[in-house]
Chains A and B, each alone.
Chain A
């Protein structure tokens, strides 16, 4: 009986932490439909005015588009690079393997401000233009560890006899990879790339060093708005970012039925 009571207390405390974690996001969504000029809680009514503003605002749409391009590019680059190197690290033994794999985790530890400063200084020195590729190079570096980790975890569980079977049945190395290996590691790769997309899409701290007016991303626009003009359009845009980073992956997950999101944890 007292055990039950204790477990109920654990549940209740957990519920409160969940509330603390999730409630602010619902506040943003609720306030985005608020008709008044100033963000007040509770909302004073229902209006789509700020969404209309957002969807007719060229600069905001442009920044959202930029974020899409950069996040997609980074997910692909980090996906390819992360997958290939995960193969190297799981399937072969070489000297300093542990130290070298730590190198691939480095972007998770170093503050994005330092990475931002270092890469800007370096790329300015070699004279790279501040375009999409600049941002994709930077973001791929930031998200590479996530793809590496998820693919590596998948590869550790991989049954290599399946590849041997394919080879025995006459498939060459490439066919084995494309027809057998790739489909089997797809859940890990998919989860890693999804995570890479989402992180790149929302990255602010390092990105502020890397943009120029033409390549400004959505998080930068939100930051500028929060710091300068507190227009209610921020709420609409913030809600759109929540939709892109939460609802889209959830729908993908449900459609593909692969539990990609839980695998990314």
Chain B
């Protein structure tokens, strides 16, 4: 295939390869089934869209239905399951209070769920504040570095979550970057890890691209002429922002908030690596019940209650934006 100096040699090779492909693609063994399908528009549609639908039914819906069933089963000795109907799992998830050394701490599941939602709200709010300005900047900038600047937002999202949270540990940890910085300022070294602020800041750090990119998308669609005409009509820049840019960027803001909220609430790694024992979130509770506790029916009930809460919230959000729009364009 060395085409240097003798460009003519490439042509016969390409021709022969085309001939081979053409013979394969015209072979009756391949074309007969294709003709059978193309003759039936409906069958073709079902066959194509059906592949993905079937995959999701087999590997997602069926498993979800199965754990829904299991959540009504009893737990036997040593992590076994007894196939007899019980509401006990849901009782202990939703109603049973736990007391530790005499103190009534309340219902663990609901406490942890509430904590996850609180973390989710805090993370979403902070991410919005931090992410709006760069999102706006990218959307309005005419810099020739724009592709590179966008790439720098996308690339961290590619790095494995475990590496990004570990990196954040190196920043907050005892001999980490932050500790080094405050030592330079004359304070003693400190460990910033294993508390709720570490979890929240870690989640913000990791989820920022999910806020910045949808906002960038919305802002970049705002026509320059709209801003120009607001200016011509005498609006000052601040008024132009509040009355033109901000409302038009709202779809991106809503999309970003939903994405960040969903991902933050369901986070496993942030509380596992950055949080203390009191900062565990719903994903950690489910994992512990399933892997350490080997209580599959209880873990299933926990998963289901969480799914229901999540879907109620998404449906509520969904009145503002459709999911399809959100994922089709937003991410």
Interface residues of A (CB under 8 A from B): 2-3, 6, 10-11, 13-14, 17-18, 20-25, 27-28, 31, 38-42, 81-82, 84-89, 91-92, 94, 97-98, 100-123, 125, 137-138, 140-141, 144-145, 148-149, 152-153, 172-175, 178-179, 195, 198, 201-205, 208-209, 218-219, 222-223, 226, 234, 238, 241-242, 245-246, 249-250, 259, 261-262, 264-265
Contact B53 A137 (CB under 8 A): no
The one of A23, A117, A238 in contact with B166, judged by C-beta atoms closer than 8 angstroms, is A238
Contact A89 B163 (CB under 8 A): no
Q: Report Cα–Cα, A119/B64, bound state, in Å.
A: 8
Q: Is B250 an interface residue (CB 8 A)?
A: no
Q: Report Cα–Cα, A121/B64, bound state, in Å.
A: 9
Q: Report Cα–Cα, A86/B49, bound state, in Å.
A: 7
Instruction: Point out the residues of chain B lying under 8 angstroms from A241, CB to CB.
Output: 159-160, 163
Q: Is B55 an interface residue (CB 8 A)?
A: yes
> Taking the nearest CB of chain B, how far is it from the CB of A249, in angstroms?
7
For B135, the closest partner residue in chain A by CB is A14
The stretch that binds A, out of B6-14, B84-92, B106-114, B306-314, is: B306-314
Interface residues of B (CB under 8 A from A): 21-22, 25-26, 30-31, 34-35, 38, 41, 44-53, 55-57, 59-64, 66-67, 70, 130-131, 133-134, 136-138, 147, 149-156, 158-164, 166-171, 173, 175-177, 179-180, 205, 208-209, 212-213, 237, 262, 265-266, 268-269, 273, 282-283, 286-287, 290-291, 296, 299-300, 303, 306-307, 310, 314, 322-324, 327-328, 331
Instruction: Point out the residues of chain A lying under 8 angstroms from B162, CB to CB.
Output: 202, 204, 219, 222-223, 226
> Taking the nearest CB of chain A, how far is it from the CB of B39, in angstroms?
11
Given known A117-B300, A175-B22, contact A202–B56 (CB-CB < 8 A) = no
Beyond A24-B205, A86-B52: 5 further Cβ-contacts under 8 Å?
A27-B177, A112-B266, A117-B286, A118-B66, A178-B25
Contact B328 A10 (CB under 8 A): no
Instruction: Point out the residues of chain A lying under 8 angstroms from B287, CB to CB.
Output: 113, 116, 208-209
Instruction: Point out the residues of chain B lying under 8 angstroms from A195, CB to CB.
Output: 158
Contact A121 B300 (CB under 8 A): yes
Q: Report Cα–Cα, A67/B247, bound state, in Å.
A: 44
Given known A21-B153, A85-B49, A94-B45, contact A41–B177 (CB-CB < 8 A) = yes
Contact A13 B306 (CB under 8 A): no
Instruction: Point out the residues of chain B lying under 8 angstroms from A226, CB to CB.
Output: 162, 166, 169, 273
The one of B48, B159, B173, B331 in contact with A202, judged by C-beta atoms closer than 8 angstroms, is B159
Given known A82-B52, A175-B25, contact A31–B133 (CB-CB < 8 A) = no
Contact B180 A25 (CB under 8 A): no
Contact B327 A25 (CB under 8 A): no
Instruction: Point out the residues of chain A lying under 8 angstroms from B306, CB to CB.
Output: 111, 114
Contact B166 A13 (CB under 8 A): no
Q: Report Cα–Cα, A232/B205, bound state, in Å.
A: 23
Contact B158 A24 (CB under 8 A): no
A selection of 11 A-B contacts at a CB cut-off of 8 Å is A21-B209, A24-B171, A27-B177, A41-B180, A87-B48, A117-B67, A118-B300, A119-B63, A122-B66, A123-B63, A202-B162
